[in-house]
Structure 1
Amino acid sequence: MSWIPHTVIQPYQVLSQRTSIVWTIGGSDSGAGAGIQADIQAINGLRARDAAPGSTLAVAQACSIITTVTAQNSESTSDVLAVPLDMLEQQWMQLLADMPPAVIKISLLASPSQVEWLADQLDSWPAGLPRPLVIYDPVAIASSGDVLTAEPILESVKQELLRHIDVLTPNSHEVLAMTGIALLFSGDMQRAYDKFREYGVKSVLFKGGHIGQLMDVELTETHVMDAWSNGDCWRYCLSAKVETKHGHGTGCSFAAALASGLAQGYALEDAFAIAHAYVQQGLKAAVAQGKGPGPVLHLGWPTHWQDFPRTANDLCELDLPTQGFAPCPSDLGLYPVVNSPEWLERLLQLGVKTIQLRAKDLSDGAAEPLVIRAIELGRKYQARVFINDYWRLAIKHQAYGVHLGQEDLDDANIEEIASAGIRIGLSTHGYFEMLRAAALKPSYLAVGHIYPTTTKNMPSTPQGLTKLQQQVSLLKSVLPTVAIGGIDWPRAKQVRATGVASIAVVRALTQAEDVEVATAQWLGLVGAGALQ
């Protein structure tokens, strides 16, 4: 899928072009814990390290437009100086001529005239340049409590700026100031979103570090929860609270990390989860640099599982206990996906030991004889046969395992599958879905789609090799992984080089000129997997 203009924002979409430039528009913090200084560290620091060979993933690069110069340290702010409009104009024009942005991240604006100037620039964006994604982190008060604006700007922001904003990232104090709504219950976030929508905002990411406890969400007593919405759907990230007094620049760093992830070609929900993890790891390592609270420490791309959040599409998911399914071997080997028992038997005869029957859109009555035969063949050849979708039939006839997509999780009885002792594999299409699925402790995760595929209409964007490599590395000690999606023989070695132990193929064998030769080649590269 190509870049999506921001008329409609969906969580699974890549919202910016694959260019590296992020503009951060905001104030200079002389203590360097927040503001432009923190933004640059987060944008440039959150770079996808060790890009896989053949990857085209962009590398983030920060540019800055300084609106305000502040005199502050970790304890207080003594002075604020707004940059004149003509200097703002010069900064804008110089960057626009040479380094146009994929994403603009806005924070501190010092006066109504600065707000109106910026709104005019966004209104008159050059027709020959693709429009950037615009994030606004509405900073007006420092962590010390000092006011950072030269004049009140709230009305100008609501009337002039918010209609240009694709992702607004307020904390609870800013929500109250901008909408008059206190975030006391989870439903208050929907009410606040509706109010922001009246001003033209396209989506809102409520930063949980300052939300505090929501009275109807018990987990918020001990956890921090960020929540994003486009008005139709929600996405949540939940992590245990980090007990520290050192959190200066948390909001700046979070919004800047989000901007960096988006500029690098990550889908919105994935950039959200990655930014959450970036801040979590930075808070855990934060220390005082002066007499007051210390800043978030910028440690680069998050690579530790414990720093990543639990994710959910609905608040009720967060109340569900984690499941835990029968395990699979960590190495499943070559994993063909076929649509008939005939193909299944042919490949099992050639030495395949992990295989999936995917016969779509059949009634249970029509599917049942196929499922029965597939299970019989799995037992005959001592192979791992997974049944796609028909989990009730898989339970009824005691299949080795089932495979479900993300869209199936809402309908399937996960507890019943777990109780039956049947293994389960879950499809994922990015960090957010991976984290959501991993909370169920499945038998394996299928990471896809890696390349464009013609076998299924996919709303998400192909992940590519670097994202595969990142997720495989992150899950290495957590769950077995299977790469899937558009993987043909010319691409197989590069996919294998990411460290993934198993590769699923849909067309590579069933459409091969010589099935026996092709199967032998794939088994030679990937193997048949571990013994039962």
Structure 2
Amino acid sequence: MSWLPHTVIQPYQVLTPNKPIVWAIGGSDSSGGAGIQADIQAINGLRDDDALGHRTAAQACTLITTVTAQNSESVSDLLAMPLDLLEQQWLQLLADMPPAVIKISLLANPAQVEWLAEQLANWPAGLPQPLVIYDPVAIASSGDTLTAEPILDAVKNDLLRHVDILTPNANEVLAMTGIALLSSADLDRAFAVLRQHGVKTVLFKGGHTGLLMDVPVTDDHVLDAWTNGDHWRLCLSPQLNTHHGHGTGCSFAASLASALAQGYALEDAFALAHAYVQQGLKAAIGQGKGPGPVLHLGWPKHWQDFPKTANELAEFDTEHTECQPCPNRLGLYPVVPTIEWLQRLLAFGVKTIQLRAKGLSDAQAEPLVKQAVALGKQYQARVFINDYWQLAIKHGAYGVHLGQEDVTDADVEKIARSGIRLGLSTHGYFEMLRAVQLKPSYLALGHIFATTTKDMPSTPQGLQKLAQQACLLASSDLRISSVAIGGIDLERAEQVMRTEIGSIAVVRAMTQAADPEQASQDWLNLVGVGDDNIA
């Protein structure tokens, strides 16, 4: 799903269909820790070369609005670039390297704001519309003013209507809306004001937010919050006790831009940017007398650097019981629609299987669940029931599988306490991090390739994203198995198995095979039946 101008931006969307080029529009920081210097490091630095030989990277291009004279303690002078030079920078890049994302930070005066707004308003019809991120920098972390003249009125009147994602901290929210972020309700109020100026979405950066009086977890955690007015996406990490953090806001917005340009869904780019800054702050050191900059350490790959994620604040207050674990490798994992298919594949030697019979009442589903559980015991196999979790508990199934759309209505605590296993579907970094907090038995990471078995709002993730997420999950100390699902045929399965994934789930590969018995043997020879421990 590609982003189109003037449509509501959804958290699961991939917003940048064109080349991964990011234009960073902002000021030069002579100390090298913030501004354009931080933008270049974050945009180019958020790159990954994985074990499968895939490379993901974005290219930073720059339009310099201001040259500053500053060090780690203060700003002594600044020079705003003339509009004709800005125009030449713009035209040169537009002719050769048009952007997927434009990341805006420091604008020196109202004339620059108005000029930029005009360029965005008159974007060439023959070029794909870029995503626009605005990080409203006006004050340095030292407290010095970075603009030659006040620009707030020009920003509100001319620029904000062209902004897709605004990334203000609490001080910038106060300046732009007059609202102090003292409670969670203030986030809603501030967004309503900003939306009146045309902003499509806002990502409230938590580094300067401080405490939200009605959200106790913010006493010792940093909360970043994104909204489009209909949905919220939240990232939460422990507050770091560090004196260093020069360029934190620049690095966050720039790494967000980089991930978006590389084709990550908005909510996933959000989680990646949060992790990128967290790992950089943990390693930050000072070389001057003042605070040192965020260190740019590349693609975040360590579980402890990633945030807890949620769609609602209340999710952070809930503790969950750990579900019974599965074997680390579940092996070949067919998903079938009928008891007949389930029995047939179990007879072929499959040891992990799911019954997915959609749209039935409990009365219609109950005899199927009973048969599935009995067959699992007969063949000493791991039989999961899709959706009908109450019936799965009632009849002692090995496990139950729930999708993202179903887990909200299920009693996850009751499932965990019953002793049966729980599998959850996820579709990216953000959903994986959120699902982990429910302490399931396994996570299904998908959909990897295009599939016709189910209408999906998200885009296919591909092998590289699968490898990244499976590797990240494996780096944790969690007892959660992983399963790849979605459009995986036998030809692609060999590459999937080269990742850190534990199992492969298939649908059409069995039920639409010309010779299901031969297909089962081919798959079992490649993927295996999983670990021996069935209990």
Q: TM-score, normalization: structure 1?
A: 0.98
CA–CA separation in structure 2 for the residues paired with 1:513 and 1:523: 17
Deviation at 1:3, TM superposition (A): 5.0
Amino acid at match of 2:310: A
Deviation at 1:498, TM superposition (A): 1.8
Deviation at 1:406, TM superposition (A): 1.0
Alignment match, 2:158: 160
Alignment match, 1:30: 30
Moved more, 6-15 or 423-432: 6-15
Conservation of the 8 A alpha-carbon contact between 2:18 and 2:128:
no
Conservation of the 8 A alpha-carbon contact between 2:2 and 2:15:
no
Alignment match, 2:58: 60
Conservation of the 8 A alpha-carbon contact between 1:39 and 1:252:
yes
CA–CA separation in structure 2 for the residues paired with 1:385 and 1:449: 21
Deviation at 1:58, TM superposition (A): 5.2
CA–CA separation in structure 1 for the residues paired with 2:65 and 2:220: 37
CA–CA separation in structure 1 for the residues paired with 2:371 and 2:269: 43
CA–CA separation in structure 2 for the residues paired with 1:316 and 1:238: 12
Conservation of the 8 A alpha-carbon contact between 2:482 and 2:502:
yes
CA–CA separation in structure 2 for the residues paired with 1:335 and 1:6: 42
List aligned pairs for 1:24-423, cutoff 5 A: 24-50=24-50, 52=52, 59-423=57-421
How many residues are paired up? 530
Alignment match, 1:510: 511
Amino acid at match of 1:29: D
Amino acid at match of 2:305: D
Conservation of the 8 A alpha-carbon contact between 1:453 and 1:486:
yes
Instruction: Find the residue that maps to 2:511 and give its secondary structure.
Output: coil
Conservation of the 8 A alpha-carbon contact between 1:501 and 1:526:
no
Conservation of the 8 A alpha-carbon contact between 1:336 and 1:356:
yes
Conservation of the 8 A alpha-carbon contact between 1:33 and 1:249:
yes
Instruction: Find the residue that maps to 1:208 and give its secondary structure.
Output: coil
Alignment match, 1:484: 485
Alignment match, 2:9: 9
Deviation at 1:48, TM superposition (A): 2.8
Amino acid at match of 2:416: A
Deviation at 1:5, TM superposition (A): 4.5
Instruction: Find the residue that maps to 2:27 and give its secondary structure.
Output: strand
Q: What CA deviation, in whole Å up to 9, does each residue of 1:128-170 have, x standing for no partner?
A: 0011000000000000000000000000000000000000000
Alignment match, 2:453: 455
Q: What CA deviation, in whole Å up to 9, does each residue of 1:8-50 have, x standing for no partner?
A: 2000000112412000000000001000000000000001322
CA–CA separation in structure 2 for the residues paired with 1:235 and 1:113: 35
Amino acid at match of 1:190: D
Deviation at 1:410, TM superposition (A): 1.1
Moved more, 261-270 or 410-419: 410-419
Conservation of the 8 A alpha-carbon contact between 1:332 and 1:502:
yes
CA–CA separation in structure 2 for the residues paired with 1:419 and 1:58: 42
Instruction: Find the residue that maps to 2:225 and give its secondary structure.
Output: strand
Conservation of the 8 A alpha-carbon contact between 1:107 and 1:138:
yes
In structure 2, runs of 5+ residues without a counterpart are none
CA–CA separation in structure 1 for the residues paired with 2:527 and 2:218: 44
Instruction: Find the residue that maps to 1:274 and give its secondary structure.
Output: helix
Aligned identity (percent) is 73
Deviation at 1:440, TM superposition (A): 1.3
In structure 1, runs of 5+ residues without a counterpart are none
Instruction: Find the residue that maps to 2:207 and give its secondary structure.
Output: helix
Amino acid at match of 1:71: A
Q: TM-score, normalization: structure 2?
A: 0.98
Amino acid at match of 2:20: S
Instruction: Find the residue that maps to 2:25 and give its secondary structure.
Output: strand
CA–CA separation in structure 2 for the residues paired with 1:339 and 1:5: 40
Amino acid at match of 1:41: Q
Task: Go from structure 1 to structure 2 and tell me whether the alpha carbon gap of 1:265 and 1:6 turns closer, same or farther (over 3 Å shift).
Answer: farther
